[in-house]
Amino acid sequence: MENAERILYIVPILLFSVVVHEYAHGYVANRWGDPTAAFMGRLTLNPLPHIDPIGSVLVPAVLLLGGSFIFGWAKPVPVNPDNYRNRRWGDVTVSLAGPASNLLLALLFTVLWIVSLRLIGYDPALEQVFRTAMILNLILAFFNLLPIPPLDGSHVLANFLPRPLAYRYLSLARYGFLILMLLLVLEPFRRILQLVYVPVGIVAGFLQALVAAAG
């Protein structure tokens, strides 16, 4: 019952966060000269064009009910790196834009947490929401930086590999959904996620220290 109640606020936070993540990819791609996302109606914060029924709703709900690692995704924003003024650095910055947007959201929710403490005082429900939103965005940021195709980190790494090797490496993206499910569900593979918990814990500790100092 407790996990079911948490769905009521965690899933909307996750949906908002992955939509911002995808919008950031499209926005930076557009700045580099690729209007594909705009032409496809994806350069918007309206969640409807971005929702993936499986990745945005079903997977996070099932993981939450099972007490597992919470994760989700939206439909990837379409981009065409051939349109970038500089293909390599365009692809690198577009790839990093998503995780960067989640880091900024983590900071934003931290600021809102501090503001709520100043204006309302301590409220356990609000604290739970802001802490969850902050940590969830940190997870999204650092998880997406893992160099596992098709995650954003793989596109960054691919740009610094020899081209034939980069093509073979990125071709693993066809198995991306299976790889992610193994990481999220099976215990031996879930240990890889400890690579995510380390930076998440460090940054979350720093942000919570800011809350404690400012509150």
How many C-beta atoms lie closer than 10 Å to residue 212's C-beta?
A: 10
Query: Residue 212 is encoded by which pair of tokens?
Result: 């404690």
How far, rounded to the nearest angstrom, does the alpha carbon of residue 113 sit from its chain's CA centroid?
20
With 0-12 / 13-18 / 19 or more C-beta atoms within 10 angstroms meaning exposed / middle / buried, residue 167 is exposed
Cite the DSSP H helix spans in the chain.
2-31, 36-39, 59-65, 87-119, 124-144, 152-158, 163-170, 176-185, 187-190, 194-214
Task: Say if residues 215 and 117 touch (Cβ distance below 8 Å).
Answer: yes
Q: Which residues are catalytic?
A: 22
